[in-house]
Structure 1
Protein backbone atom coordinates (compact mmCIF):
# COMPACT_ATOMS: atom_id res chain seq x y z
CA UNK A 1 0.00 0.00 0.00
CA UNK A 2 1.32 3.48 -0.90
CA UNK A 3 1.41 5.89 2.01
CA UNK A 4 0.27 9.42 1.38
CA UNK A 5 2.81 12.18 1.76
CA UNK A 6 2.66 14.28 4.89
CA UNK A 7 1.13 17.71 4.68
CA UNK A 8 3.88 20.35 4.78
CA UNK A 9 3.89 23.69 6.56
CA UNK A 10 4.75 26.75 4.43
CA UNK A 11 5.11 30.35 5.55
CA UNK A 12 4.63 33.35 3.25
CA UNK A 13 7.48 35.81 3.81
CA UNK A 14 8.38 39.32 2.68
CA UNK A 15 12.09 39.47 3.43
CA UNK A 16 15.16 37.23 3.82
CA UNK A 17 15.06 37.85 7.58
CA UNK A 18 11.46 36.59 7.80
CA UNK A 19 12.47 33.55 5.74
CA UNK A 20 15.37 32.76 8.07
CA UNK A 21 13.17 33.02 11.17
CA UNK A 22 10.44 30.84 9.65
CA UNK A 23 12.87 28.09 8.67
CA UNK A 24 14.54 28.16 12.08
CA UNK A 25 11.11 27.85 13.71
CA UNK A 26 10.30 24.69 11.76
CA UNK A 27 8.63 25.68 8.47
CA UNK A 28 9.09 23.16 5.66
CA UNK A 29 8.94 25.90 3.03
CA UNK A 30 9.10 29.66 2.82
CA UNK A 31 7.12 31.23 0.02
CA UNK A 32 8.01 34.52 -1.65
CA UNK A 33 6.73 36.29 -4.77
CA UNK A 34 8.90 36.53 -7.85
CA UNK A 35 9.97 40.12 -8.48
CA UNK A 36 10.74 41.91 -11.67
CA UNK A 37 13.59 43.66 -9.97
CA UNK A 38 15.11 43.27 -6.52
CA UNK A 39 13.08 41.99 -3.56
CA UNK A 40 10.74 44.63 -2.26
CA UNK A 41 10.34 46.35 -5.61
CA UNK A 42 7.11 45.94 -7.51
CA UNK A 43 4.26 43.43 -7.45
CA UNK A 44 4.48 39.69 -7.91
CA UNK A 45 5.35 38.76 -11.45
CA UNK A 46 2.71 37.59 -13.87
CA UNK A 47 3.57 35.70 -17.02
CA UNK A 48 0.87 37.47 -19.02
CA UNK A 49 -1.99 36.05 -21.10
CA UNK A 50 -4.00 35.20 -18.01
CA UNK A 51 -1.15 33.45 -16.25
CA UNK A 52 -1.22 33.34 -12.45
CA UNK A 53 1.13 35.15 -10.11
CA UNK A 54 4.49 33.42 -9.87
CA UNK A 55 5.93 32.61 -6.44
CA UNK A 56 8.96 30.61 -5.41
CA UNK A 57 9.02 28.14 -2.50
CA UNK A 58 12.35 27.41 -0.85
CA UNK A 59 12.63 24.28 1.32
CA UNK A 60 14.24 24.13 4.72
CA UNK A 61 14.12 20.34 4.97
CA UNK A 62 17.05 18.52 3.34
CA UNK A 63 14.68 15.73 2.29
CA UNK A 64 12.78 18.18 0.09
CA UNK A 65 13.88 19.47 -3.35
CA UNK A 66 16.90 21.78 -3.14
CA UNK A 67 15.85 23.96 -6.08
CA UNK A 68 13.06 26.51 -5.52
CA UNK A 69 9.61 25.33 -6.61
CA UNK A 70 7.67 27.41 -9.10
CA UNK A 71 4.31 28.13 -7.49
CA UNK A 72 1.24 29.41 -9.33
CA UNK A 73 -0.85 31.51 -6.94
CA UNK A 74 -4.58 31.58 -7.72
CA UNK A 75 -7.31 33.54 -6.00
CA UNK A 76 -10.12 31.31 -7.28
CA UNK A 77 -10.41 27.73 -8.61
CA UNK A 78 -11.72 28.92 -11.99
CA UNK A 79 -8.27 30.39 -12.70
CA UNK A 80 -6.81 26.88 -12.83
CA UNK A 81 -6.66 26.71 -16.63
CA UNK A 82 -3.82 29.26 -16.54
CA UNK A 83 -1.47 26.84 -14.77
CA UNK A 84 -1.53 24.19 -17.46
CA UNK A 85 1.29 26.00 -19.17
CA UNK A 86 4.14 27.76 -17.47
CA UNK A 87 6.31 25.05 -15.90
CA UNK A 88 4.79 25.18 -12.41
CA UNK A 89 5.35 22.51 -9.76
CA UNK A 90 2.74 23.73 -7.28
CA UNK A 91 -0.68 25.37 -7.43
CA UNK A 92 -1.59 27.54 -4.45
CA UNK A 93 -5.22 28.50 -3.91
CA UNK A 94 -4.86 31.70 -1.90
CA UNK A 95 -7.92 33.99 -1.87
CA UNK A 96 -7.75 37.41 -0.25
CA UNK A 97 -10.24 36.33 2.43
CA UNK A 98 -10.46 33.30 4.68
CA UNK A 99 -10.29 30.15 2.55
CA UNK A 100 -13.08 28.21 4.28
CA UNK A 101 -15.39 31.22 4.05
CA UNK A 102 -14.53 31.83 0.42
CA UNK A 103 -15.12 28.25 -0.81
CA UNK A 104 -16.96 25.15 0.46
CA UNK A 105 -14.92 22.02 1.12
CA UNK A 106 -16.39 20.28 -1.91
CA UNK A 107 -15.00 23.03 -4.16
CA UNK A 108 -11.60 22.63 -2.50
CA UNK A 109 -11.76 18.87 -3.03
CA UNK A 110 -12.51 19.37 -6.73
CA UNK A 111 -9.61 21.82 -6.97
CA UNK A 112 -7.31 19.26 -5.38
CA UNK A 113 -8.45 16.57 -7.82
CA UNK A 114 -7.65 18.90 -10.73
CA UNK A 115 -4.15 19.40 -9.32
CA UNK A 116 -3.65 15.66 -8.97
CA UNK A 117 -4.79 15.01 -12.53
CA UNK A 118 -2.32 17.65 -13.76
CA UNK A 119 0.46 16.08 -11.60
CA UNK A 120 0.86 19.29 -9.62
CA UNK A 121 1.11 19.72 -5.87
CA UNK A 122 -1.95 21.29 -4.23
CA UNK A 123 -1.33 23.96 -1.58
CA UNK A 124 -3.96 25.94 0.31
CA UNK A 125 -3.59 29.45 1.74
CA UNK A 126 -6.12 32.19 2.37
CA UNK A 127 -5.61 33.73 5.80
CA UNK A 128 -5.39 30.34 7.47
CA UNK A 129 -5.51 29.97 11.24
CA UNK A 130 -4.61 27.01 13.44
CA UNK A 131 -8.24 25.73 13.78
CA UNK A 132 -8.34 25.38 9.98
CA UNK A 133 -5.67 22.65 10.03
CA UNK A 134 -7.82 19.66 11.10
CA UNK A 135 -10.60 20.78 8.78
CA UNK A 136 -8.27 20.90 5.76
CA UNK A 137 -6.30 17.76 6.56
CA UNK A 138 -9.32 15.67 5.49
CA UNK A 139 -8.47 16.78 1.93
CA UNK A 140 -4.81 15.65 2.20
CA UNK A 141 -3.26 18.82 0.72
CA UNK A 142 0.47 18.82 0.03
CA UNK A 143 1.02 21.98 2.07
CA UNK A 144 -0.79 24.67 4.02
CA UNK A 145 0.45 28.26 3.72
CA UNK A 146 0.29 30.62 6.70
CA UNK A 147 1.22 34.26 7.16
CA UNK A 148 2.77 36.20 10.04
CA UNK A 149 3.20 33.22 12.37
CA UNK A 150 5.21 33.71 15.52
CA UNK A 151 7.57 30.91 16.51
CA UNK A 152 5.22 29.59 19.21
CA UNK A 153 2.22 29.51 16.86
CA UNK A 154 4.27 27.91 14.11
CA UNK A 155 5.41 25.22 16.54
CA UNK A 156 1.76 24.54 17.47
CA UNK A 157 0.92 24.17 13.78
CA UNK A 158 3.81 21.77 13.37
CA UNK A 159 2.51 19.63 16.24
CA UNK A 160 -0.95 19.56 14.69
CA UNK A 161 0.41 18.37 11.35
CA UNK A 162 2.59 15.70 12.92
CA UNK A 163 0.13 14.40 15.52
CA UNK A 164 -0.89 10.85 14.55
CA UNK A 165 -4.57 9.98 14.51
CA UNK A 166 -5.04 7.31 17.20
CA UNK A 167 -5.78 3.88 15.78
CA UNK A 168 -8.66 1.84 17.14
CA UNK A 169 -7.77 -1.14 19.34
CA UNK A 170 -10.85 -3.35 19.95
CA UNK A 171 -9.27 -5.19 22.87
CA UNK A 172 -8.90 -1.92 24.79
CA UNK A 173 -12.25 -0.42 23.83
CA UNK A 174 -13.97 -1.20 27.12
CA UNK A 175 -11.25 0.52 29.17
CA UNK A 176 -11.04 3.62 26.99
CA UNK A 177 -12.07 6.82 28.77
CA UNK A 178 -14.30 8.97 26.57
CA UNK A 179 -15.96 12.35 26.25
CA UNK A 180 -18.85 13.44 24.04
CA UNK A 181 -18.90 16.24 21.53
CA UNK A 182 -22.10 17.45 19.92
CA UNK A 183 -23.56 19.57 17.14
CA UNK A 184 -27.24 20.38 17.59
CA UNK A 185 -29.74 21.89 15.20
CA UNK A 186 -27.39 22.39 12.23
CA UNK A 187 -29.74 23.21 9.36
CA UNK A 188 -28.96 23.30 5.63
CA UNK A 189 -30.95 23.08 2.38
CA UNK A 190 -30.71 19.64 0.74
CA UNK A 191 -32.06 18.01 -2.38
CA UNK A 192 -33.66 14.96 -0.79
CA UNK A 193 -36.77 12.83 -1.12
CA UNK A 194 -38.14 9.85 -3.01
CA UNK A 195 -41.30 11.60 -4.29
CA UNK A 196 -41.34 13.37 -7.62
CA UNK A 197 -42.39 16.69 -6.08
CA UNK A 198 -39.28 16.57 -3.86
CA UNK A 199 -36.87 16.39 -6.78
CA UNK A 200 -37.42 19.89 -8.11
CA UNK A 201 -36.70 21.83 -4.95
CA UNK A 202 -34.56 21.95 -1.87
CA UNK A 203 -35.85 21.40 1.63
CA UNK A 204 -34.36 22.07 5.01
CA UNK A 205 -32.72 19.25 6.93
CA UNK A 206 -31.71 19.60 10.56
CA UNK A 207 -28.81 17.55 11.88
CA UNK A 208 -27.99 16.68 15.44
CA UNK A 209 -24.79 14.72 15.98
CA UNK A 210 -23.25 13.38 19.17
CA UNK A 211 -19.93 11.53 19.05
CA UNK A 212 -18.08 9.54 21.68
CA UNK A 213 -14.42 10.54 21.43
CA UNK A 214 -11.29 9.34 23.16
CA UNK A 215 -10.56 11.51 26.16
CA UNK A 216 -7.36 13.56 25.87
CA UNK A 217 -4.50 12.31 28.04
CA UNK A 218 -4.34 15.72 29.74
CA UNK A 219 -6.41 18.87 30.07
CA UNK A 220 -6.44 20.24 26.50
CA UNK A 221 -4.86 23.65 25.95
CA UNK A 222 -4.44 23.62 22.16
CA UNK A 223 -6.71 22.97 19.18
CA UNK A 224 -4.53 19.99 18.24
CA UNK A 225 -5.53 18.21 21.45
CA UNK A 226 -9.27 18.09 20.81
CA UNK A 227 -11.65 16.78 18.17
CA UNK A 228 -13.13 19.86 16.53
CA UNK A 229 -16.88 20.10 15.96
CA UNK A 230 -16.02 21.93 12.73
CA UNK A 231 -15.10 18.51 11.32
CA UNK A 232 -18.72 17.46 11.85
CA UNK A 233 -20.27 20.54 10.25
CA UNK A 234 -17.85 20.30 7.31
CA UNK A 235 -18.88 16.68 6.74
CA UNK A 236 -22.56 17.72 6.68
CA UNK A 237 -21.79 20.45 4.15
CA UNK A 238 -20.05 17.88 1.94
CA UNK A 239 -23.22 15.78 1.99
CA UNK A 240 -25.26 18.81 0.89
CA UNK A 241 -22.91 19.34 -2.05
CA UNK A 242 -23.31 15.79 -3.38
CA UNK A 243 -26.63 16.32 -5.13
CA UNK A 244 -29.98 14.56 -4.76
CA UNK A 245 -30.46 11.70 -2.30
CA UNK A 246 -33.73 9.80 -1.99
CA UNK A 247 -33.59 8.93 1.70
CA UNK A 248 -32.56 10.77 4.85
CA UNK A 249 -31.62 7.32 6.18
CA UNK A 250 -28.88 7.14 3.54
CA UNK A 251 -27.61 10.59 4.55
CA UNK A 252 -27.46 9.52 8.19
CA UNK A 253 -25.52 6.36 7.32
CA UNK A 254 -23.11 8.20 5.03
CA UNK A 255 -22.42 10.86 7.66
CA UNK A 256 -21.81 8.29 10.39
CA UNK A 257 -19.44 6.31 8.17
CA UNK A 258 -17.55 9.47 7.18
CA UNK A 259 -17.06 10.58 10.77
CA UNK A 260 -16.05 7.15 12.04
CA UNK A 261 -13.06 7.12 9.67
CA UNK A 262 -11.37 9.27 12.31
CA UNK A 263 -9.70 6.96 14.83
CA UNK A 264 -10.55 9.26 17.74
CA UNK A 265 -14.26 8.47 17.47
CA UNK A 266 -15.64 5.30 19.06
CA UNK A 267 -19.32 5.85 18.24
CA UNK A 268 -21.58 8.45 16.72
CA UNK A 269 -25.30 9.23 16.93
CA UNK A 270 -26.84 11.01 13.96
CA UNK A 271 -30.34 12.49 13.80
CA UNK A 272 -31.61 13.87 10.49
CA UNK A 273 -34.94 15.71 10.37
CA UNK A 274 -36.98 17.06 7.48
CA UNK A 275 -38.52 20.39 8.43
CA UNK A 276 -40.71 21.27 5.43
CA UNK A 277 -43.25 18.42 5.16
CA UNK A 278 -45.98 19.71 7.50
CA UNK A 279 -45.21 18.49 11.02
CA UNK A 280 -42.49 20.27 12.94
CA UNK A 281 -40.06 17.52 11.97
CA UNK A 282 -39.90 13.96 10.61
CA UNK A 283 -36.75 11.95 10.27
CA UNK A 284 -34.44 9.25 11.52
CA UNK A 285 -31.95 8.75 14.32
CA UNK A 286 -29.17 6.15 14.21
CA UNK A 287 -26.24 5.11 16.38
CA UNK A 288 -23.17 3.52 14.82
CA UNK A 289 -19.92 2.28 16.32
CA UNK A 290 -16.59 1.46 14.78
CA UNK A 291 -17.33 -2.27 15.12
CA UNK A 292 -20.40 -1.80 12.88
CA UNK A 293 -18.08 -1.09 9.94
CA UNK A 294 -15.76 -4.05 10.56
CA UNK A 295 -16.08 -7.24 8.58
Structure 2
Protein backbone atom coordinates (compact mmCIF):
# COMPACT_ATOMS: atom_id res chain seq x y z
CA UNK A 1 0.00 0.00 0.00
CA UNK A 2 1.26 3.48 -0.87
CA UNK A 3 0.20 6.24 1.51
CA UNK A 4 -1.18 9.50 0.16
CA UNK A 5 0.27 12.32 2.27
CA UNK A 6 -0.78 15.94 1.95
CA UNK A 7 1.31 18.93 2.93
CA UNK A 8 -0.78 21.44 4.90
CA UNK A 9 -0.12 24.63 6.86
CA UNK A 10 -2.61 24.53 9.68
CA UNK A 11 -4.99 22.34 11.64
CA UNK A 12 -7.85 23.77 9.59
CA UNK A 13 -6.19 22.66 6.35
CA UNK A 14 -5.48 19.29 7.94
CA UNK A 15 -9.20 18.78 8.52
CA UNK A 16 -9.93 19.70 4.89
CA UNK A 17 -7.31 17.24 3.61
CA UNK A 18 -8.56 14.42 5.82
CA UNK A 19 -12.17 14.98 4.77
CA UNK A 20 -11.14 14.89 1.09
CA UNK A 21 -9.29 11.58 1.43
CA UNK A 22 -5.70 12.07 2.62
CA UNK A 23 -4.17 9.10 4.45
CA UNK A 24 -2.10 11.50 6.56
CA UNK A 25 -0.95 15.11 6.60
CA UNK A 26 2.36 16.80 7.22
CA UNK A 27 1.99 20.24 8.78
CA UNK A 28 4.55 22.45 7.05
CA UNK A 29 5.26 25.89 8.43
CA UNK A 30 8.95 26.67 8.29
CA UNK A 31 9.75 22.99 8.03
CA UNK A 32 7.86 19.70 8.33
CA UNK A 33 7.40 19.64 12.10
CA UNK A 34 4.24 17.69 12.77
CA UNK A 35 2.82 14.47 11.41
CA UNK A 36 -0.85 13.62 11.79
CA UNK A 37 -1.93 10.11 10.78
CA UNK A 38 -5.52 9.63 9.72
CA UNK A 39 -5.58 5.89 9.08
CA UNK A 40 -4.04 3.04 11.12
CA UNK A 41 -1.30 1.50 9.02
CA UNK A 42 2.15 0.13 9.68
CA UNK A 43 3.70 2.87 7.56
CA UNK A 44 1.96 5.61 9.51
CA UNK A 45 3.23 4.11 12.75
CA UNK A 46 6.90 4.21 11.77
CA UNK A 47 7.66 7.43 13.58
CA UNK A 48 6.37 10.37 15.54
CA UNK A 49 8.95 12.55 13.78
CA UNK A 50 8.35 11.60 10.17
CA UNK A 51 10.90 13.80 8.42
CA UNK A 52 14.40 14.73 9.55
CA UNK A 53 16.51 16.80 7.15
CA UNK A 54 19.82 15.28 6.15
CA UNK A 55 22.91 17.24 5.19
CA UNK A 56 23.08 17.70 1.43
CA UNK A 57 26.21 16.53 -0.31
CA UNK A 58 28.01 13.44 -1.52
CA UNK A 59 27.30 11.66 1.75
CA UNK A 60 24.27 11.89 4.00
CA UNK A 61 24.91 12.96 7.59
CA UNK A 62 22.32 11.79 10.10
CA UNK A 63 21.76 13.64 13.36
CA UNK A 64 22.95 11.88 16.50
CA UNK A 65 19.53 12.27 18.11
CA UNK A 66 17.79 10.48 15.25
CA UNK A 67 16.31 7.21 16.43
CA UNK A 68 13.38 6.55 14.10
CA UNK A 69 11.42 8.04 11.25
CA UNK A 70 12.47 8.95 7.74
CA UNK A 71 15.55 10.84 6.63
CA UNK A 72 14.71 13.50 4.06
CA UNK A 73 17.27 13.66 1.23
CA UNK A 74 17.11 16.59 -1.16
CA UNK A 75 18.18 16.87 -4.79
CA UNK A 76 20.50 13.84 -4.77
CA UNK A 77 20.44 10.05 -4.93
CA UNK A 78 21.70 8.22 -1.83
CA UNK A 79 24.74 6.02 -2.25
CA UNK A 80 25.04 2.47 -0.97
CA UNK A 81 27.04 3.83 1.98
CA UNK A 82 24.30 6.38 2.70
CA UNK A 83 21.61 3.70 2.87
CA UNK A 84 23.80 1.47 5.04
CA UNK A 85 24.34 4.40 7.43
CA UNK A 86 20.60 5.03 7.59
CA UNK A 87 20.01 1.38 8.49
CA UNK A 88 22.81 1.53 11.10
CA UNK A 89 21.26 4.65 12.65
CA UNK A 90 18.00 2.79 13.13
CA UNK A 91 15.98 4.99 10.80
CA UNK A 92 12.87 3.63 9.11
CA UNK A 93 13.62 4.89 5.60
CA UNK A 94 14.09 7.90 3.37
CA UNK A 95 12.02 10.64 1.78
CA UNK A 96 13.44 11.85 -1.53
CA UNK A 97 12.65 15.51 -2.07
CA UNK A 98 13.32 18.23 -4.62
CA UNK A 99 12.70 21.96 -4.78
CA UNK A 100 11.33 21.54 -8.32
CA UNK A 101 9.98 18.39 -9.92
CA UNK A 102 11.50 15.30 -8.38
CA UNK A 103 10.76 13.30 -11.54
CA UNK A 104 12.91 15.69 -13.60
CA UNK A 105 15.60 16.24 -10.95
CA UNK A 106 16.53 12.59 -10.42
CA UNK A 107 14.82 10.83 -13.33
CA UNK A 108 12.53 7.82 -13.31
CA UNK A 109 15.30 5.26 -13.74
CA UNK A 110 17.11 6.59 -10.65
CA UNK A 111 13.90 6.62 -8.59
CA UNK A 112 13.21 3.01 -9.58
CA UNK A 113 16.75 2.03 -8.59
CA UNK A 114 16.58 3.86 -5.25
CA UNK A 115 13.25 2.29 -4.37
CA UNK A 116 14.65 -1.16 -5.15
CA UNK A 117 17.78 -0.59 -3.07
CA UNK A 118 15.69 0.64 -0.13
CA UNK A 119 13.42 -2.41 -0.27
CA UNK A 120 16.42 -4.74 -0.30
CA UNK A 121 17.48 -3.22 3.05
CA UNK A 122 14.01 -3.16 4.58
CA UNK A 123 13.85 0.65 4.37
CA UNK A 124 10.72 2.59 3.55
CA UNK A 125 10.91 5.05 0.65
CA UNK A 126 8.85 8.14 -0.04
CA UNK A 127 8.82 10.66 -2.90
CA UNK A 128 7.92 14.35 -2.83
CA UNK A 129 8.71 17.42 -4.88
CA UNK A 130 6.44 18.98 -7.48
CA UNK A 131 4.30 15.86 -7.90
CA UNK A 132 1.35 16.32 -10.27
CA UNK A 133 -1.55 14.01 -11.05
CA UNK A 134 0.09 12.30 -14.09
CA UNK A 135 3.12 11.49 -11.91
CA UNK A 136 1.16 9.33 -9.49
CA UNK A 137 0.56 6.31 -11.74
CA UNK A 138 4.15 6.58 -13.03
CA UNK A 139 5.62 6.50 -9.52
CA UNK A 140 3.27 3.82 -8.19
CA UNK A 141 4.98 1.32 -10.51
CA UNK A 142 8.04 1.60 -8.20
CA UNK A 143 5.89 0.65 -5.17
CA UNK A 144 6.90 3.57 -2.92
CA UNK A 145 5.57 3.55 0.62
CA UNK A 146 4.69 7.26 0.63
CA UNK A 147 3.87 9.94 -1.93
CA UNK A 148 3.70 13.45 -0.46
CA UNK A 149 1.85 16.05 -2.53
CA UNK A 150 1.76 19.80 -1.96
CA UNK A 151 1.28 22.59 -4.49
CA UNK A 152 -0.74 20.51 -6.97
CA UNK A 153 -3.47 20.26 -4.32
CA UNK A 154 -3.91 24.02 -4.09
CA UNK A 155 -6.16 26.23 -6.19
CA UNK A 156 -4.57 26.91 -9.61
CA UNK A 157 -1.44 25.05 -8.43
CA UNK A 158 -0.30 28.18 -6.60
CA UNK A 159 1.73 27.63 -3.43
CA UNK A 160 0.09 30.66 -1.75
CA UNK A 161 -3.46 29.54 -2.58
CA UNK A 162 -5.87 27.59 -0.34
CA UNK A 163 -6.25 23.83 -0.52
CA UNK A 164 -8.60 22.53 -3.20
CA UNK A 165 -10.71 19.64 -1.83
CA UNK A 166 -11.66 18.56 -5.37
CA UNK A 167 -7.98 18.23 -6.30
CA UNK A 168 -7.34 16.14 -3.18
CA UNK A 169 -10.27 13.87 -4.05
CA UNK A 170 -8.91 13.50 -7.59
CA UNK A 171 -5.49 12.44 -6.30
CA UNK A 172 -7.14 10.09 -3.80
CA UNK A 173 -8.74 8.28 -6.73
CA UNK A 174 -5.35 7.72 -8.35
CA UNK A 175 -4.13 5.57 -5.45
CA UNK A 176 -5.21 1.93 -5.48
CA UNK A 177 -7.51 1.14 -2.60
CA UNK A 178 -7.08 -1.98 -0.47
CA UNK A 179 -9.81 -4.50 -1.09
CA UNK A 180 -11.42 -6.24 1.83
CA UNK A 181 -11.45 -10.02 1.61
CA UNK A 182 -14.39 -11.89 3.00
CA UNK A 183 -14.80 -15.59 3.56
CA UNK A 184 -17.61 -16.96 1.41
CA UNK A 185 -20.49 -18.38 3.41
CA UNK A 186 -21.15 -22.10 3.10
CA UNK A 187 -24.36 -22.92 1.30
CA UNK A 188 -26.07 -26.24 0.79
CA UNK A 189 -25.23 -28.00 -2.43
CA UNK A 190 -27.83 -27.49 -5.11
CA UNK A 191 -28.34 -28.42 -8.70
CA UNK A 192 -26.28 -26.05 -10.83
CA UNK A 193 -28.39 -23.56 -12.72
CA UNK A 194 -27.86 -22.81 -16.34
CA UNK A 195 -24.93 -20.50 -16.88
CA UNK A 196 -26.06 -17.18 -18.25
CA UNK A 197 -24.08 -15.76 -21.10
CA UNK A 198 -21.82 -13.02 -19.77
CA UNK A 199 -22.03 -9.67 -21.56
CA UNK A 200 -19.00 -8.79 -23.64
CA UNK A 201 -16.73 -6.31 -21.95
CA UNK A 202 -15.80 -3.11 -23.72
CA UNK A 203 -12.08 -2.76 -24.11
CA UNK A 204 -9.78 0.04 -25.16
CA UNK A 205 -6.13 0.11 -26.09
CA UNK A 206 -3.31 2.52 -25.39
CA UNK A 207 -0.15 2.27 -27.45
CA UNK A 208 3.28 3.56 -28.32
CA UNK A 209 4.66 2.80 -31.75
CA UNK A 210 8.13 2.97 -33.26
CA UNK A 211 9.98 4.28 -30.20
CA UNK A 212 13.69 3.94 -31.06
CA UNK A 213 16.46 3.92 -28.44
CA UNK A 214 20.17 3.14 -28.64
CA UNK A 215 20.85 0.43 -26.06
CA UNK A 216 23.31 -2.30 -25.13
CA UNK A 217 21.88 -5.53 -26.51
CA UNK A 218 23.06 -8.73 -28.18
CA UNK A 219 24.46 -12.18 -27.45
CA UNK A 220 27.40 -12.14 -29.91
CA UNK A 221 30.81 -11.00 -28.74
CA UNK A 222 30.86 -8.27 -31.38
CA UNK A 223 27.66 -6.82 -29.91
CA UNK A 224 29.17 -6.20 -26.49
CA UNK A 225 30.49 -2.70 -25.95
CA UNK A 226 28.57 -1.07 -28.79
CA UNK A 227 25.09 0.36 -28.70
CA UNK A 228 22.44 -0.57 -31.23
CA UNK A 229 19.21 1.00 -32.34
CA UNK A 230 16.22 -0.93 -31.04
CA UNK A 231 12.60 -0.14 -31.91
CA UNK A 232 9.81 -0.73 -29.40
CA UNK A 233 6.08 -0.87 -30.03
CA UNK A 234 3.50 -1.69 -27.36
CA UNK A 235 -0.27 -2.06 -27.27
CA UNK A 236 -1.93 -2.50 -23.90
CA UNK A 237 -5.55 -3.55 -23.54
CA UNK A 238 -7.59 -1.92 -20.78
CA UNK A 239 -11.16 -2.39 -19.67
CA UNK A 240 -13.16 0.60 -20.82
CA UNK A 241 -14.84 2.91 -18.33
CA UNK A 242 -18.62 3.33 -18.50
CA UNK A 243 -18.62 7.12 -18.82
CA UNK A 244 -16.77 9.81 -20.79
CA UNK A 245 -13.21 10.54 -19.67
CA UNK A 246 -13.26 13.33 -17.09
CA UNK A 247 -9.87 13.45 -15.36
CA UNK A 248 -6.72 11.44 -14.57
CA UNK A 249 -8.71 8.90 -12.55
CA UNK A 250 -10.26 7.67 -15.79
CA UNK A 251 -6.98 7.44 -17.72
CA UNK A 252 -4.29 4.80 -18.04
CA UNK A 253 -1.54 7.05 -19.38
CA UNK A 254 0.74 6.06 -22.23
CA UNK A 255 3.53 7.38 -19.96
CA UNK A 256 3.33 3.95 -18.34
CA UNK A 257 4.46 2.40 -21.64
CA UNK A 258 7.24 4.87 -22.50
CA UNK A 259 8.54 4.97 -18.91
CA UNK A 260 8.70 1.17 -18.80
CA UNK A 261 10.61 1.00 -22.08
CA UNK A 262 13.20 3.51 -20.85
CA UNK A 263 13.61 1.81 -17.49
CA UNK A 264 14.06 -1.69 -18.91
CA UNK A 265 16.32 -0.49 -21.72
CA UNK A 266 18.54 1.42 -19.30
CA UNK A 267 19.55 -1.39 -16.95
CA UNK A 268 22.75 -2.32 -18.81
CA UNK A 269 23.65 -4.95 -21.37
CA UNK A 270 20.87 -7.41 -22.21
CA UNK A 271 21.71 -10.37 -24.41
CA UNK A 272 18.27 -11.14 -25.83
CA UNK A 273 15.45 -8.98 -27.17
CA UNK A 274 13.15 -11.67 -25.78
CA UNK A 275 14.30 -10.70 -22.29
CA UNK A 276 13.50 -7.06 -22.99
CA UNK A 277 10.03 -7.94 -24.27
CA UNK A 278 9.20 -10.26 -21.36
CA UNK A 279 10.36 -7.75 -18.75
CA UNK A 280 8.41 -4.91 -20.33
CA UNK A 281 5.25 -7.02 -20.55
CA UNK A 282 5.48 -8.16 -16.93
CA UNK A 283 5.88 -4.61 -15.64
CA UNK A 284 3.01 -3.22 -17.66
CA UNK A 285 0.70 -6.04 -16.58
CA UNK A 286 1.35 -4.96 -12.99
CA UNK A 287 -1.10 -2.09 -13.57
CA UNK A 288 -4.50 -3.17 -12.21
CA UNK A 289 -6.50 -1.97 -15.23
CA UNK A 290 -4.36 -3.62 -17.91
CA UNK A 291 -5.58 -7.03 -18.97
CA UNK A 292 -3.30 -7.85 -21.90
CA UNK A 293 -0.27 -6.47 -23.67
CA UNK A 294 1.40 -6.89 -27.06
CA UNK A 295 5.12 -6.02 -27.15
CA UNK A 296 7.31 -5.82 -30.25
CA UNK A 297 11.08 -5.36 -29.95
CA UNK A 298 13.14 -5.00 -33.15
CA UNK A 299 16.90 -4.68 -33.74
CA UNK A 300 17.60 -2.27 -36.58
CA UNK A 301 21.38 -2.43 -37.06
CA UNK A 302 22.08 -6.06 -37.97
CA UNK A 303 21.95 -5.70 -41.74
CA UNK A 304 19.52 -4.91 -44.50
CA UNK A 305 16.51 -6.31 -42.67
CA UNK A 306 14.91 -5.96 -39.29
CA UNK A 307 14.89 -8.77 -36.71
CA UNK A 308 13.01 -9.01 -33.48
CA UNK A 309 10.29 -10.60 -31.42
CA UNK A 310 6.55 -10.19 -30.89
CA UNK A 311 4.93 -11.38 -27.65
CA UNK A 312 1.36 -11.32 -26.34
CA UNK A 313 0.73 -11.71 -22.62
CA UNK A 314 -2.39 -11.57 -20.44
CA UNK A 315 -2.77 -10.62 -16.79
CA UNK A 316 -2.65 -13.73 -14.63
CA UNK A 317 -1.48 -15.82 -17.56
8 Å CA contact 1:232–1:259 kept in 2: the answer is yes
Q: What corresponds to 1:49 in structure 2?
A: none
Deviation sequence 1:118-169 (CA, Å, 0-9, x none) = 443211112101111111111221110111312111111111114579xxxx
Q: What corresponds to 2:67 in structure 1?
A: none
Q: What corresponds to 1:220 in structure 2?
A: 245
Q: What corresponds to 2:126 in structure 1?
A: 123
Please provide the CA RMSD for this pair. 3.0
Quick one: distance in 2 between partners of 1:83 and 1:153?
34
Matches of residues 122-141 of structure 1 in structure 2 within 5 Å?
122-141=125-144
Matches of residues 64-143 of structure 1 in structure 2 within 5 Å?
64-65=44-45, 68-71=48-51, 72-75=71-74, 76-78=76-78, 80-81=82-83, 83-84=86-87, 88-143=91-146
**5+ residue gaps, structure 1:** 1-5, 34-38, 45-53, 166-170
User: Judging changes above 3 Å, is the alpha-carbon distance between structure 1 residues 174 and 241 closer, same or farther for their aligned structure 2 residues?
Assistant: farther
Pairing 1:22–2:17 present:
yes
Matches of residues 256-271 of structure 1 in structure 2 within 5 Å?
256-271=281-296
- Of stretches 110-119 and 151-160 in structure 1, the one that deviates more from structure 2 is 110-119
Quick one: distance in 1 between partners of 2:145 and 2:176?
13
User: Judging changes above 3 Å, is the alpha-carbon distance between structure 1 residues 196 and 119 closer, same or farther for their aligned structure 2 residues?
Assistant: closer
Quick one: distance in 1 between partners of 2:136 and 2:266?
21
TM-score (norm 2): 0.72
Query: How many residue pairs are counted as aligned between the two chains?
Result: 265
Deviation sequence 1:18-39 (CA, Å, 0-9, x none) = 4343233322222246xxxxx5
- Of stretches 233-242 and 76-85 in structure 1, the one that deviates more from structure 2 is 76-85
**5+ residue gaps, structure 2:** 52-70, 154-163, 180-195
